[in-house]
Structure 1
Amino acid sequence: MQDSYQHQGQRRQLVKVLREKGIRNERVLEAIGRVPRHFFLEKAFADWAYQDKPFPIGCEQTISQPYTVAFQSTLLEVNKRDKVLEIGTGSGYQAAVLALLGGRVFTIERHRPLHLKAKKMLQLLGLKGVRCYHRDGYKGLPEMAPFHRIIVTAGAPEVPQALKEQLTIGGMLVIPVGDKDQRMLRIIRRGKTEWETEDHGDFRFVPFLPGTA
């Protein structure tokens, strides 16, 4: 696959659009400016890859719109070498952004075809800091816990306790919660049994489902 000057120019324009929409984190914008989003889309949608829109990726899943990726990544405040758990690999695009932010990324996908495709693409891009798992996201990844950061990229009816428990003290979980529409929550672990919750507004995601498919 080719990342042409035209694609790079389209990414610069996308970064400009995200900045106009209120994204201010320069590290996040730089990462989005580096990831070739068209690599993560079906060929039928590749020409529209740098529009700020979601697109289908198979298995009734979507690649999130870049604004949502940027918004969640900004809330997550990833520091270099942070252990980051992503629930919902999807296309692998969000994982690539997190890796470029310096995170050591552990990403879980319940759909095996998406898991295999994303794993291959992330390897092709040389993103060695990403480990992919075909697992049930509701259970997290207890054998690799605790994590400094956890991000969920599907709409959860409630916050899974297992994910909260897998945070370090001071760690953050970013998760959209709700049925048809979701509220973007940032949950900060303040102690062994203490969590603080912030509400960051309305979003809409595909459902967060238990089990594997």
Structure 2
Amino acid sequence: MSRTQELVMLERRRLLRATLAGGALAALGGLTFMPRLFARDNSSAAAPDAAGMVTLQCFADDGRALGPCKVKRLVLSEAEWRRRLSPAAYYVMRQDGTERAFSGEHEKPDRPGLFRCPGCATALFDAATEFDSGTGWPSFWQPIAAANVIEKRDTTFGMVRTEIRCAGCDSHLGHVFDDGPRPTGLRYCMNSVALRFVPRTSA
């Protein structure tokens, strides 16, 4: 175990003791324990219209903002999702799972680019907003566009958190916490298998 992993484990134990002392219930195994948790919910605002259409902010692979675009939310059968996603991505994105810390990729790529949803290719995060949170999961201080993610109140494990889902296909991505860096103070803690890095191309 590396020194960084040791420090993370010590911090997680400290925060777990503080959480349990306060009367909150939590489950081990891939969860991060933070003393300050909050929950927001924009799921109704991100709901598709009667035709199943949602309005997203579209981005080219060179990073250019293409403006609002109305697309049909991707809806697939479970068999189709299993064919489209890797087993690990299916577990996280379609079964609301969590990958093991330090098991994934995308820890601060060394070149510019953006992260898209592996399921529907919706642009989710700009690599420029990623930071090293020391948690073992890719972390960002903001999404590439608020319209491209769904924030949903999550009360599983006896905790109140804000889940993050892809607005283009309603797949689980991770959670957001209020212990991030400036300028937002937020930490979008994502599962690596729920992100596809696209290196920035020339305009």
Higher relative contact order (CA 8 A, sep 6+): 2
Whichever of the two has the greater Rg, that structure is: 2
TM-score when scaled to structure 1?
Answer: 0.28
TM-score (norm 2): 0.29
From the two aligned structures, give the one with the greater helix fraction: 1
